[in-house]
Chains A and B, each alone.
Chain A
Amino acid sequence: MSTPVLEVRDLKRDYVTSGGLFRPARVVHAVKGVNFRLEKGKTLAVVGESGCGKSTLARMITLIDQQTSGDILIDGEKVDKSHGVTKAMRQKVQIVFQNPYGSLNPRQKIGDVLSEPLLLNTSMSKEERRQKAMQMLLKVGLGPEHFNRYPHMFSGGQRQRIAIARALMLNPSFLVLDEPVSALDLSVQAQILNLLKDLQDEFGLTYVFISHDLSVVRYIADEVMVMYFGDVVEHGTRDEVFGNPQHAYTRTLFAATPKSSVESIKERLAKKKALAG
């Protein structure tokens, strides 16, 4: 079996709330032991409601926050926190955040947004950096005329494209997408999802896709992991989880997702009529 791009073993994270004079400090177990392996070119979706620890998990695997215990292996290499995280390690992981309005520097031109990772991490010349940035800009469906514009001149969908382009500049091993489409309109959401699929096919990208929208997850994921209060309550392939959900919480999630089929509308209207009549 090939080495997984990302492997996580018994990952835990506790937060300690500061106590007061009369109040003892409390420990919150945000993530309580997560295990998974993710192969190259696959998409793992992490599903759960706010407060279930999915973003804490994202911060740990992107090496932003340190885990309390457990191991993270990237390309088979263990991230050793005692020696600090190396630059090479950081380059392998990139993240795209939920809010495209907050994740771009308003004073930085798009061209600079895209070439900054190269400036910091490689020894490329200015011209090379410019060329690579331009290539990536075109790749995510924007035009050369956008190179010298500022973030406020773009719509939400375009900004999310820029954030994705920035994340791909250093050819990362995997990409963490933290609710990348939940702030977007339905049709723009479809464009971004298509873009993510195209990029995955072209570069063999590996995604960790965090979302609470099950219809999006069903569309994009290969594997699905359902989290509830820091625990993984269900983990399987997309067809397993959607076809035969095992845990009660997963079933609650499915039941809560709005149904837009004609049959379900008919059923609802009939019920309403019965109540009124």
Chain B
Amino acid sequence: MALLDIRNLTVAFDTSVGLFKAVDGIDVSVDAREVLAIVGESGSGKSVAMLAVMGLLPASATVTADKMEFEGKNLMAMTAQQKRRIIGKDIAMIFQEPVASLNPCFTIGFQIEEVLSRHMGLNGRAARDRAIELLQLVGIKDGADRLGAFPHQMSGGQCQRVMIAMAIACSPKLLIADEPTTALDVTIQKQILDLLVKLQADTGMGLIMITHDMGVVAETADRVIVQYKGHKMEEADVLTLFENPASNYTRALLSALPENAVGDRLPTVADYNFAHDLGAGQ
């Protein structure tokens, strides 16, 4: 049984010019111990699909799906209270802007301990010790000293580590990482990606990487879903995708990588015709 199994997910937003379908009939499934990458440009609906799972979409969004199950439990039929027990505990998410996702008014220690007390019932000394342990796990060595630090006193990479520590605080079964390294430098990106992959391998959780960077996909994923304008263009294991992409859109994305430049010009997505693929996906 898949850890997360979604069939025919559609997310529509109510706008002044009518209904806009950000995600249109997408199937996603992830197994435990698997790294799934969802790739696409901005506007492809890659984040929206996962926000729908987390229940983080604004009220103007309508979510429909034939099936949305986590460990066999139907997420669509749950009450908000039941869902809160899963979200943040068994399914955790980290976001693109680490500095913006932390509350600037509280110390990082308070914010990590809050998660522990809410979901694990840990308080006081026990929560503090676990928080230090978590910081150590994500590579912040002087955890005991850093608990009293505010987000603005830490670098972007450090903040992302704190976010990861909060996300894995309750040993989630599924971690969704939404562009976790886009705001970071290459050297820090490498450290964070290595950390995520290591944590995933050690704990056996499922990991969904949402990204627009083909390099990140190549470095982390087992399986890849390519999305464009709310449609799934292709789903393949990572090697097949890079070696022998089935859709023209994937080919276009790969050739837009500067290291794949042929001659003097970079091919852009507009140079490829993939209207056919889009039609086939519908």
Contacts and interface: CB of A to CB of B under 8 A. Distances in A.
A73 interface: no
| Interface magnitude class on chain A | 35 or more
B264 interface: yes
A34 to B, nearest CB: 20
Contact of A190 (B42, B185, B258): B258
Contact of B239 (A50, A220, A266): A266
B238 A185 contact: no
A264 B238 CA distance: 11
A187 interface: yes
A212 interface: yes
Contacts of B214: 186, 260
Contacts of A194: 265-266, 268
| Interface size grouping (class) on chain B | 35 or more
Nearest to B239: A265
Contact of B238 (A216, A255, A269): A269
B37 to A, nearest CB: 12
A258 interface: yes
Q: Chain A interface mostly helix, strand, loop or mixed?
A: helix
A212 B189 CA distance: 11
B187 A256 contact: yes
Interface string B264-279: 1111111000000000
B72 to A, nearest CB: 25
A258 B268 contact: no
B242 A260 contact: yes
Interface stretch (B75-83, B117-125, B160-168, B215-223): B215-223
Contact of A259 (B215, B256, B258, B266): B215
B201 interface: yes
B266 A258 contact: no
Nearest to A252: B187
A185 B212 contact: yes
A162 to B, nearest CB: 18
A124 B100 CA distance: 45
Nearest to A249: B187
Query: In the complex, which of the residues B185, B189, B243, B264 has the most CB atoms of chain A within 10 Å of its own CB atom?
Result: B185
Contacts of A188: 41
A262 B259 contact: no
B87 to A, nearest CB: 29
A258 B216 contact: yes
Interface string A253-277: 1011111111011101100100110
B126 interface: no
Which A-B residue pairs are the 10 nearest by beta carbons? A258-B215, A187-B269, A256-B190, A260-B218, A190-B266, A219-B258, A49-B185, A190-B256, A185-B41, A215-B258
Interface of A: 49-50, 156, 185-191, 193-194, 197, 212-216, 218-220, 252-253, 255-262, 264-266, 268-269, 272, 275-276
24 contacts: A49-B185, A49-B187, A49-B188, A50-B185, A187-B41, A187-B269, A187-B270, A190-B267, A190-B268, A190-B269, A193-B258, A194-B265, A197-B265, A213-B258, A215-B257, A219-B259, A256-B186, A256-B187, A256-B190, A258-B190, A260-B215, A260-B242, A260-B259, A262-B239
